[in-house]
Amino acid sequence: MKTVSYKKILEKKLSDPEQAAEYLTACYEEGPEVFLVGLRDVVEAQGGVGRMAQLSKLNRESLYRLVSRKGNPRLSSLNSVLSAIGLKVTFAATA
C-alpha cells in the first residue's frame, strides 16, 4: 500500500479557503505560537511565501518573519496576508 504524506493531505485541504479558515480558527484557539505555525501551513498551501508576498504586497523577508514561530506580526501585515488568502478576521461574543 502506498502511503501519502500528511503534509500533502494538509496542503490540499488548506488550499480551500473554507478549510483554511476553520484550521486557522482552531490554531488561534490554541495560542499565538500555534496560530503562526498554522498561518505558515496555510501560506504554503496557497502557493508559498513567494506567491503570498506578491499577493499581499509584503516583501518576502517580512513575510518569513511574520510566519515564523517567534513572529510578532503587525495587524496590518496579518490583514494583508489573510486578504491575499481570501480570508478576513471576524469576532463573536462568547456565551
| pLDDT tens profile 10-59 | 999 999 999 999 999 999 989 888 888 999 999 999 999 999 999 989 88
What is the rounded average pLDDT for all residues in the chain? 88
d(CA 57, CA 72): 18
pLDDT given at position 62: 85
8 within 8 A of 42, measured Cβ to Cβ: no
Tell me which residue of 87, 77, 94, 83 sits closest to 14, measured CA to CA.
87
Q: Give me the residue label for grid cell 518576502.
A: 60
Q: What is the pTM of this model?
A: 0.82
DSSP 81: H
